[in-house]
């Protein structure tokens, strides 16, 4: 029997600048013994590594493996950091890190202004010595980061953006020094100090703008982290005491004051309140809570001081699961990224080759070495693959972040990319399209009886019952403003129903089977009972024992009640919206066909066209999903996550809808690629929409990233692009890719 264990470790990485850096770090991590998979994300500056260990996955083994990974990152020329360093760091000022750019602009301006003057007929050219003194600090002090990172790349026999910038600008600076030192005394020669200085400054500016955009893409996770309070009010042996949240344990009782965030998941024990769960579910309206209601860590207590009992803390809370899901999605690579990785792995060596060919081509064709070198420098500068490395992760981070804000958790990039290809949606019925709790659908009374009076009596009889049908009757009575009457002598008949006295009436309320056993005559309502049962409703009878005038009692029917699941308020609109998108729709149900088809018609589904698959056990649902996939459909399965896990996992994309009572949510999060944090069927179309928009942004970004290089490199090689414009275009490419991705943050369901 094998003792091997699998570990998944996260590590932060500082100093990466482009797609080639990503490829290099991944190669370094994969060389560590035991590593089976390594995924590096440029936008989050992190890596996720899967390792196989011969020993059990203890804390010591994890620590040792983490140390090996950190050393591999450092040996590759980058800075290992804590996995959550980027997220947990305080939000910096928007001007943080701008000082080097400011100095670069100060030193470069006197070099560039004379060029502008030449265009207007003024000759302000600075002496060569002044140009040298202004350009050299920019090149070797402000640009030192490019030399350090480029040197590490060379040591590892690879290349990156920094190496291209370092080689290109150093060539321009060295050429200027050589032209200055070899010029005839008193001769005015054109130097290129301003080009190298301005390129370094523009690249630094581009990286600064890019860093600001990165902070915006991580804002979703930062906001989720900020939901965790620092202190909890614990009811201990000595009364109420404040303790750090990390010390709270399951079973503890906590006081939560108005306006405070809940520190853990739990159950409300005392008090009533309204809770703002918008950051978790996307639901804008506060949710009423009363004793017995579930509470979620991170949500905000309303106006009531309440007492709760803790059910889950730390990593086991719903908030922690949500954070982990969003982080997983943002750390993952979409399948389309594999093409980018393959290109990035050979990009820098190819660019160096093109630059060398440009130099030799111009020089051997009779042009000056000076012009040949300038064109080669322009090739090196324009070719920096920053935008290529950011194109996919920036869009994924922005898309999954804004989706999470609205209660849509996208578990991985593969689900994101597959969602826009879906052509078939299969819904589980109970709890997904329907409320999932019985509701009093109809009530038929015998002639001469008042419905309001009988409903009031039935609710009063069941006022102390927790049975689902009793709760449905009580809800209907409350909705009609009925006050409960005093009930006495209540007794339950197991599996049958209830009996007792309400305001002088000796009542029985229970199943039709019980009434048949008691030989109750159904009379004029018998046909109605059969119709309701044929439609899949559960039918109960309300009867009364009355004197028969001969000293005995007779059992008389007063009313029939039909119970059934009700469609969710937005379900029909959601179905209509998906149909308008051209999607095939199916409903899976374990109910009998009559009940399933009756509900389907209420929802706008078409049983006559085969859109209802009824009488299926939970174990059969996955078989139906696989049958549709084998027929060539690309299937999205939507379920409530309790008994639908196999079907969710078997579909091309699984979409789990969290239950109102929280049950099955953990199962849903693990089985499905996408989790809807509130039970609103309209979110299905919203999830498909944000997925399609995100994939569209990825493709747009990749197009522009490739387009910049595909157009820029030939232009530079042919002499149509000087190094300064090449540097500006390269910086612009990264910023435009990040800016395009950030447009997703404006999305609304």
CATH number, domain containing residue 425:
3.40.50.1000
Specify whether 679 is located in the same domain as 721: no
Is 404 inside a domain boundary?
no
Q: What is the pLDDT of residues 499-508, one digit of tens each?
A: 999 988 999 9
Specify whether 212 is located in the same domain as 245: no
Q: Sign of torsion, CA 401 406 408 414?
A: negative
* CA 446 to chain CA centroid, nearest Å: 55
Q: Sign of torsion, CA 691 695 701 704?
A: negative
Q: Sign of torsion, CA 288 292 296 298?
A: positive
- Choosing from 88, 113, 137, the residue where a domain stops is 88
Specify whether 555 is located in the same domain as 592: no
CATH number, domain containing residue 278:
2.70.150.10
- DSSP classification of residue 420: T
Is 146 inside a domain boundary?
yes
Specify whether 216 is located in the same domain as 239: no
Q: Which residue has the higher pLDDT, 218 or 7?
A: 7
Specify whether 216 is located in the same domain as 336: yes
Give me the torsion for CA of 86, 88, 89, 90, rounded to 10°. Answer: 130
List Cα–Cα distances, 312 to 207, 246, 316, 320, in angstroms: 42, 12, 6, 10
List Cα–Cα distances, 249 to 49, 224, 234, 239, 707, in angstroms: 31, 21, 10, 17, 55
pLDDT at 279: 66
Sequential DSSP letters for 97-156: T-HHHHHHHHHHHHHHHHHHHHHTT---PPPHHHHHHHHHHIIIIITHHHHHHHHHHHHT
Is 322 inside a domain boundary?
no
Domain around 32: 5-88
List CB contacts of 568: < 8 A, sequence separation 6 or more: 433, 434, 435, 679, 680, 681
Sequential DSSP letters for 681-738: THHHHHHHHHHHHHHHHHHHHHHHHHHHHHHHHHHHHTT-S-HHHHHHHHHHHHHHHH
Q: What is the pLDDT of residues 446-462, one digit of tens each?
A: 988 899 999 999 999 99
Specify whether 637 is located in the same domain as 704: no
User: What is the Cα–Cα distance from 119 to 121, expressed in whole angstroms?
Assistant: 6
Domain count, the chain: 5
Q: What is the pLDDT of residues 305-325, one digit of tens each?
A: 999 999 999 888 888 877 777
List Cα–Cα distances, 694 to 7, 402, 592, 653, 670, in angstroms: 30, 10, 40, 16, 23
Q: Is the pLDDT of residue 672 over 90?
A: no
Task: Determine contact, residues 611/604, Cβ cutoff 8 Å.
Answer: no
Q: Is the pLDDT of residue 1 over 50?
A: no
Q: In 3-state terms, what secondary structure has residue 615? A: coil
**Of the listed 328, 341, 428, 680, which one is catalytic?**
428
Q: Kindly state the average pLDDT of the residues 365-379.
A: 87
Q: Kindly state the average pLDDT of the residues 202-229.
A: 73
pLDDT at 548: 76
Is 332 inside a domain boundary?
yes
- Choosing from 509, 533, 565, the residue where a domain stops is 565
Specify whether 607 is located in the same domain as 676: yes
Q: What is the mean pLDDT of the chain?
A: 84
CATH number, domain containing residue 44:
3.30.70.100
- DSSP classification of residue 360: H
Q: Which residue has the higher pLDDT, 455 or 278?
A: 455
CATH number, domain containing residue 540:
3.40.1110.10
Q: What is the pLDDT of residues 75-130, one digit of tens each?
A: 888 999 887 665 555 666 778 888 999 999 999 888 877 766 655 666 667 888 99
HSE-CB at 464 with a 13 A cutoff on CA atoms is 12
Task: Determine contact, residues 502/486, Cβ cutoff 8 Å.
Answer: yes
Specify whether 602 is located in the same domain as 580: yes
Where does 285-350 show beta strands of DSSP type E?
A: 287-289, 294-295, 300-301, 306-312
Is 709 inside a domain boundary?
yes
HSE-CB at 693 with a 13 A cutoff on CA atoms is 22
Q: What is the pLDDT of residues 581-612, one digit of tens each?
A: 999 999 988 777 777 888 899 899 999 999 99
pLDDT at 307: 95
Q: Is the pLDDT of residue 302 over 70?
A: yes
Q: Kindly state the average pLDDT of the residues 221-240.
A: 83
Q: Is the pLDDT of residue 213 over 80?
A: no
User: What is the Cα–Cα distance from 427 to 682, expressed in whole angstroms?
Assistant: 13
- DSSP classification of residue 90: P
Q: Kindly state the average pLDDT of the residues 224-246.
A: 87
- DSSP classification of residue 523: G
List CB contacts of 83: < 8 A, sequence separation 6 or more: 9, 10, 11, 12, 46
pLDDT at 228: 81
Closest CA to 691 of 707, 676, 702, 706: 676
Specify whether 742 is located in the same domain as 711: yes
Specify whether 525 is located in the same domain as 478: yes
Give the pair of three-digit tokens for residue 287. Answer: 């949710």
Is 93 inside a domain boundary?
no
Q: What is the pLDDT of residues 550-590, one digit of tens each?
A: 767 889 999 999 988 888 889 999 999 999 999 999 998 87
User: What is the Cα–Cα distance from 73 to 525, expressed in whole angstroms?
Assistant: 79
Specify whether 205 is located in the same domain as 105: yes
Q: Kindly state the average pLDDT of the residues 254-282.
A: 87
Give the pair of three-digit tokens for residue 295. Answer: 């509470």
Q: What is the pLDDT of residues 315-368, one digit of tens each?
A: 888 888 777 777 776 666 667 766 676 676 677 788 889 999 999 999 999 998
User: What is the Cα–Cα distance from 232 to 236, expressed in whole angstroms?
Assistant: 12
Helix-strand-coil split of the chain, %, nearest 5: 50, 20, 30
* CA 657 to chain CA centroid, nearest Å: 14
User: What is the Cα–Cα distance from 607 to 598, expressed in whole angstroms?
Assistant: 9
* Phi, psi dihedrals of residue 581, rounded to the nearest 5°: -80, 0
- Is 428 assigned a catalytic role? yes
Specify whether 51 is located in the same domain as 184: no
Is 491 inside a domain boundary?
yes
* CA 276 to chain CA centroid, nearest Å: 20
Which of 382-386, 461-465, 468-472 has the least mean pLDDT?
Answer: 382-386
Give the pair of three-digit tokens for residue 619. Answer: 């174990």
Is 73 inside a domain boundary?
yes
């Amino acid at each position: 029997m094998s003792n091997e264990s699998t570990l998944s470790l996260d590590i932060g990485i500082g100093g990466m600048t482009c797609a080639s850096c990503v490829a290099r770090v991944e190669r370094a991590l994969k060389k560590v013994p035991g590593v089976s998979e390594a995924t590096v994300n440029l936008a989050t500056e992190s890596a996720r590594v899967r390792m196989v260990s011969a020993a059990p996955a203890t804390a010591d083994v994890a620590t040792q493996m983490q140390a090996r990974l950190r050393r591999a990152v450092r040996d590759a020329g980058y800075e290992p950091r804590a996995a959550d360093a980027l997220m947990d760091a305080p939000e910096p000022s928007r001007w943080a890190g701008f000082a080097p750019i400011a100095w670069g602009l100060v030193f470069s301006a006197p070099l560039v202004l004379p060029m502008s003057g030449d265009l207007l007929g003024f000759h302000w050219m600075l002496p060569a010595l002044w140009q040298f003194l202004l350009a050299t600090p920019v090149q070797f002090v402000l640009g030192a980061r490019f030399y350090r990172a480029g040197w590490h790349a060379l040591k590892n026999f690879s290349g990156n953006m920094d190496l291209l910038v370092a080689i290109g600008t150093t060539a321009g600076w060295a050429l200027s020094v050589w032209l200055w030192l070899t010029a005839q005394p008193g001769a005015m020669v054109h130097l290129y100090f301003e080009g190298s200085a301005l390129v370094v400054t523009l690249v630094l500016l581009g990286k600064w703008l890019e860093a600001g955009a990165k902070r915006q893409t991580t804002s979703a996770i930062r906001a989720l982290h900020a939901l965790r309070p620092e202190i909890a009010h614990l009811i201990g042996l000595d009364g109420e005491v404040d303790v750090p949240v990390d010390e709270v344990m399951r079973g503890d009782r906590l006081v939560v004051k108005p306006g405070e965030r809940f520190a853990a998941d739990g159950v409300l024990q005392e008090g009533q309140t309204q809770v703002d769960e918008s950051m978790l579910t996307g639901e804008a309206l506060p949710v009423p809570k009363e004793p017995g209601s579930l509470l979620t860590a991170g949500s905000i207590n309303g106006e009531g001081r309440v007492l709760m009992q803790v059910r889950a803390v730390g990593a086991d809370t719903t908030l922690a699961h949500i954070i982990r899901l969003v982080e997983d999605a943002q750390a993952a690579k979409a399948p389309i990224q594999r093409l980018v990785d393959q290109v990035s792995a050979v990009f820098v060596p190819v660019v160096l080759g093109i630059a060398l060919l440009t130099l030799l081509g111009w020089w051997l064709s009779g042009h000056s070495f000076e012009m040949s070198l300038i064109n080669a420098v322009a090739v090196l500068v324009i070719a920096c693959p920053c935008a290529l490395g950011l194109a996919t992760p920036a869009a994924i981070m922005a898309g999954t972040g804004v989706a999470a804000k609205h209660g849509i958790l996208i578990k991985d990039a593969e689900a994101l990319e597959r969602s826009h290809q879906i052509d078939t949606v299969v819904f589980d019925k109970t709890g997904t399209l329907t409320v999932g709790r019985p509701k009093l659908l109809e009530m038929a009374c015998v002639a001469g009886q008042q419905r309001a009076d009988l409903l009031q009596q039935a609710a009063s009889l069941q006022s102390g019952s927790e049975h689902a049908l009793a709760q449905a009757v009580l809800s209907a009575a409350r909705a009609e403003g009925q006050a409960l009457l005093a009930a006495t002598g209540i007794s339950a008949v197991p599996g049958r129903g209830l009996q007792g006295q309400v305001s002088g009436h000796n009542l029985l309320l229970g199943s039709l089977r019980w009434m048949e056993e008691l030989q109750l005559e159904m009379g004029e309502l018998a046909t109605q009972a059969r119709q309701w049962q044929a439609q899949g409703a559960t039918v109960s009878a309300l009867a009364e024992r009355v004197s028969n005038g001969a000293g005995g009692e007779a059992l008389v029917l007063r009313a029939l009640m039909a119970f059934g699941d009700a469609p969710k308020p937005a379900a029909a609109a959601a179905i209509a919206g998906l149909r308008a998108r051209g999607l095939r729709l199916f409903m899976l149900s374990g109910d009998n066909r009559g009940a399933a088809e009756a509900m389907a018609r209420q929802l706008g589904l078409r049983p006559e066209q085969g859109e209802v698959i009824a009488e299926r056990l939970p174990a059969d649902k996955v078989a139906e999903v696989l049958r549709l996939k084998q027929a060539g459909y690309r299937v999205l399965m939507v379920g409530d996550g309790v008994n639908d896990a196999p079907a969710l996992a078997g579909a091309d994309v699984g979409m789990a809808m969290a239950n109102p009572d929280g049950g099955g949510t953990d199962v849903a999060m693990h089985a499905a690629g996408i989790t809807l944090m509130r039970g609103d069927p309209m979110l299905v179309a919203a999830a498909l929409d944000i997925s399609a928009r995100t994939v569209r942004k990825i493709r747009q970004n990749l197009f522009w990233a490739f387009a910049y290089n595909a157009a820029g490199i030939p232009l530079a090689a042919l002499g149509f692009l000087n190094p300064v414009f090449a540097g500006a275009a390269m910086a612009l490419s990264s910023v435009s890719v990040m800016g395009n991705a950030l447009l997703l943050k404006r999305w609304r369901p």
